[in-house]
Chain A
């Protein structure tokens, strides 16, 4: 009986794939394609979310414009809905706060005091309520006898435009609508007065 051995090159190069191998390879291709589609979808959503956020306005850059719906009783003579650009010519102190924010409570009285001291000198203190429900927010404003204009940041649009990382955060904007300083901490009355005085004298 004669035994014939095939040369290795045949078995290595020309042997057809078995049915199992073909199925395995094709399932791999299907799996990879599926993965690519899923990753592309997630990437698209992530990219959109990042693009929506934009960059944080650094000192020296124009303050992003926005409209703010003010709480009834907290309009300080302004219309129900105000636009930041309408306040051009004033020094504007934008303060992001929330009633559940412990640090915000520490500076609430100081903000009200500087509002009363500077409201007739071309300074607008503007409170932007962040991620707050209405009843506790109004209770907070009443607790500190707040009279400076305050409104809710609907859908977090302003917070996203200013890319805040939490509350409290305060932006100091000069008469030309340029961000001059950002403070990511509660402020004392002395600090607020010093920063506002510097912008008034500028």
Chain B
């Protein structure tokens, strides 16, 4: 019962994947160099949308500009620099690693360092605690819990 349900699910996934692949194949292939550069830019009018995948008139004009500049012999870096100079750094999908956007890049690194430092400290302290005590029976003679336990046991006898 369970096996047939899993088989049905896998079958459904395969069919969905094949249909999606076929549908994608029907979309005309974009001009590759233009598409690659457009992928690195934002649509200027739709929040959060990629220039390459946006069908608006604005984006069509921007893609035409990319193609025109590539046809004129400009490199991808030069085209991206043109867009950044003309419209500002917010057009870039990846914000520049300087200026006010620097903390966006620095924060994850700083956070990782802090996380590793605290985790390392914890592991070191845990290892220290776990080290064998000088007591011959393996228990810590100075452990207040052990001392209290011993007192209670003695009182109960």
Contacts and interface: CB of A to CB of B under 8 A. Distances in A.
B103 A99 contact: no
Interface string B119-135: 10111011001100000
Question: What are the 8 tightest A-B residue pairs by CB atom distance, in nearest-first order?
Answer: A41-B107, A26-B122, A30-B118, A155-B88, A41-B103, A34-B111, A133-B65, A48-B100
Contacts of A100: 56-58, 61
Nearest to A17: B129
Contacts of A6: 149, 152
A21 B62 CA distance: 56
A14 B148 contact: yes
Interface in A65-92: none
Contacts of A31: 115
Interface of A: 2, 4, 6-7, 10, 14-16, 19, 22-23, 26-27, 29-31, 33-35, 37-38, 40-42, 44-45, 48-49, 52, 98-100, 131-136, 152, 154-157
B40 interface: no
Contacts of A16: 143, 145
15 contacts: A19-B130, A23-B122, A23-B126, A26-B118, A33-B114, A33-B118, A37-B114, A38-B107, A40-B107, A42-B103, A44-B100, A45-B103, A133-B64, A133-B86, A156-B88
A131 B44 contact: yes
Contacts of A41: 103-104, 106-107, 110
Interface string B94-110: 00000011011011101
Interface centre among B68, B101, B111, B145 (most CB of A within 10 A): B111
Nearest to B100: A48
Contact of A38 (B64, B111, B122, B130): B111
A173 B148 CA distance: 84
Contact of A131 (B87, B101, B110, B111): B87
The size bracket of the interface on B is 35 or more
A19 B149 CA distance: 20
Given A10-B148, A30-B122, A154-B86, A133 B107 contact: no
A42 B86 CA distance: 26
B99 to A, nearest CB: 9
Contact of A19 (B88, B103, B126): B126
A133 B152 contact: no
Contacts of A155: 85-88
B156 interface: yes
Contacts of A19: 126, 129-130
Of the listed residues B44, B56, B61, B156, the one surrounded by the most CB atoms of chain A closer than 10 A to its CB is: B61
Given A19-B126, A22-B126, A45-B100, 19 more contacts: A4-B156, A10-B148, A15-B145, A22-B125, A23-B126, A26-B122, A30-B122, A33-B114, A33-B118, A37-B111, A41-B103, A41-B104, A41-B107, A44-B103, A45-B103, A131-B87, A133-B65, A152-B86, A155-B85
